Amino acid sequence: MTADLRKVRMGLQACLLGLFALILSGKCSYSPEPDQQRTLPPGWVSLGRADPEEELSLTFALRQQNLKRLSELVQAVSDPSSSQYGKYLTLDHVADLVRPSPLTLHTVQKWLLAAGARNCHSVITQDFLTCWLSIRQAELLLPGAEFHHYVGGTAETHVVRSPHPYQLPQALAPHVDFVGGLHRFPPTSSLRQRPEPQVAGTVGMHLGVTPNVIRKRYNLTAQDVGSGTSNNSQACAQFLEQYFRDSDLARFMHLFGGNFAHQASVTRVVGQQGRGRAGIEASLDVQYLMSAGANISTWVYSSPGRHEGQEPFLQWLMLLSNESALPHVHTVSYGDDEDSLSSAYIQRVNTELMKAATRGLTLLFASGDSGAGCWSVSGRHQFRPSFPASSPYVTTVGGTSFQNPFLITNEIVDYISGGGFSNVFPRPSYQEEAVAKFLNSSPHLPPSSYFNASGRAYPDVAALSDGYWVVSNSVPIPWVSGTSASTPVFGGLLSLINEHRILSGRPPLGFLNPRLYQQHGAGLFDVTHGCHESCLNEEVEGQGFCSGPGWDPVTGWGTPNFPALLKTLLNP
């Protein structure tokens, strides 16, 4: 196509879009879309403007209906005192509830058709629509957007993003929550390998956390494994070019799984496994979910985001809205700073987590590995909460260390354990009593200007997060640490409890928090010693919140004592 013909086509397309906006709204006006990432994250570099003829996929989050009713249903099916407890909705029922209005569906589809969008596909709930466009078409569709190539992250990931805000026609603004694939950059893993502690002699000591150490600390016997016969399953999600390898899993189980029954391979991979090297984080997730939740069918959601326009976490959420039969427990080691995400995006993701809760899914998210976090607002330091850890509709898992790193002893705070108070979500009613008690009794509260005391407080629970052995790329790697380790461990133990519930004719646990807080952390070891890290300034001197008796925003209610937790959660 000649340059002149391209200009003609661009002009015609712009006219069509303008005409469509005029028909819809009666005027050619646009609304700034609130879904804008504010700054380029550290470690990312622009490689320049993208080719106008290059293809990319964009995801349109369509406005849903009946969100107040959805919230009420989450409470009803998750509260043991409710007559609807455990009566979870099917995906079809959720779709009937939240499906966008016919006007929204018609308006958005006509808008995209006029822009030349193609190969569009939706999900069962019809509230996401993913379409392919050229860069040129996307920039005409979303005035203000300007697509660039970027490279960054530890894996030198390539993405296409717009550094500038985009706008929607005013007539479209009531119908679209956000457009995915423009602004959010993949977060980097915070998993770390710590130096091995120095100690004289090793008699009676362990040399790092393995499945047998986990099982001994949390009082699991050789009989505490899945039956292999029930309709029970668990899952973890891996993003950002993170993959596991079957050969690594087999070697891990050969080295560390000899004392308990386990499954030798993942049951199902949803998505595409990459051909590159295995990632430590993905290997850790799979190996410890399958050794804690031993002998239980395990799925892995693999959303690598290899196409430069894709957002892997958004892809995972869409998969949940497009599968009617899902594992009961999902563990996710993923998070972003709350302040780096737009309100439109956070609120919509929170709705997706509500949808999962009404279906009886237990979603566990790592609390993060930066303690209370820290950032500067108008020249003043504040703690920096993480999302989705701060969502009221997930169970968030913090981290602990052994008091003696070489002995299976009581646990103390792992100083990296993420925790704090949301600046977006108010404190949910289920945790009102526990959080108020902490705020009124803690002798070590940071200055009130550092955190939003009325926000959703997290984590809810914790598990060991320090000093794990992992096999990655055929090599056993010691002293791997992070809440990416504690989260699959806690998830695996909940899967074992689901096994007992299913075999006795009861529904799976579902969204755990209302029950967890009603029972005041029964079945958990209370972690009462230690503080996590925060801002390195004279006012707080690197100290965030500190643990204490009962719930706290460092280790939640504590770590699992499996026999007691099973007894607590088995009935009703």
* Active-site amino acid positions: 281, 285, 484
Residues in Cβ contact with 257 at an 8 Å cutoff, skipping those fewer than 6 apart:
211, 291, 294
421: closest CA among 313, 549, 554?
Answer: 554
527 marked ligand binding residue: yes
SS3 337: strand
Residue in this structure with the two tokens 């701060």, named with its chain if needed: 390
CA end-to-end span of the chain, whole Å?
68
How many other CB atoms are there within 10 angstroms of residue 46's CB atom?
13
Q: Give yes or no for a contact between 337 and 497, defined as CB atoms under 8 angstroms apart.
A: no
526 marked ligand binding residue: yes
What would the two tokens of residue 316 be?
A: 């995972």
DSSP 410-457: -EEE-TT---EEEEEEEPPGGGHHHHHHHHHH-TTPPPGGGS-TTEEE
Q: Please, which residues bridge with residue 531 across strands?
A: 546
Residue 182 phi/psi, 5-degree rounding, is -110, -45
224 marked ligand binding residue: no
SS3 187: coil
Report the distance separating Cα 188 and Cα 241, nearest Å.
11
What own/partner pairs with CB < 8 Å and gap ≥ 24 does 83-86 have? 85/572, 86/360, 86/506, 86/507, 86/510, 86/572
Report the distance separating Cα 344 and Cα 338, nearest Å.
12
Report the distance separating Cα 313 and Cα 186, nearest Å.
9
Q: Which secondary structure element, helix H or strand E, spans residue 269, and what is its range?
A: strand 268-271
Q: Give yes or no for a contact between 530 and 413, defined as CB atoms under 8 angstroms apart.
A: yes
Report the distance separating Cα 311 and Cα 203, nearest Å.
49
What would the two tokens of residue 241 be?
A: 């070019």
Report the distance separating Cα 52 and Cα 36, nearest Å.
22
CA angle 151, 339, 384 (to 5 degrees): 105
Report the distance separating Cα 125 and Cα 94, nearest Å.
7
Report the distance separating Cα 490 and Cα 23, nearest Å.
54
AA identity, residue 59: T
Report the distance separating Cα 8 and Cα 139, nearest Å.
16
Report the distance separating Cα 88 and Cα 81, nearest Å.
15
CA angle 307, 308, 310 (to 5 degrees): 70
CA distances from 444 to 380, 531, 543 (A): 20, 9, 10
Which residue positions form the known binding site for Ca(2+)?
526-527, 550, 552
Which residue positions form the known binding site?
526-527, 550, 552
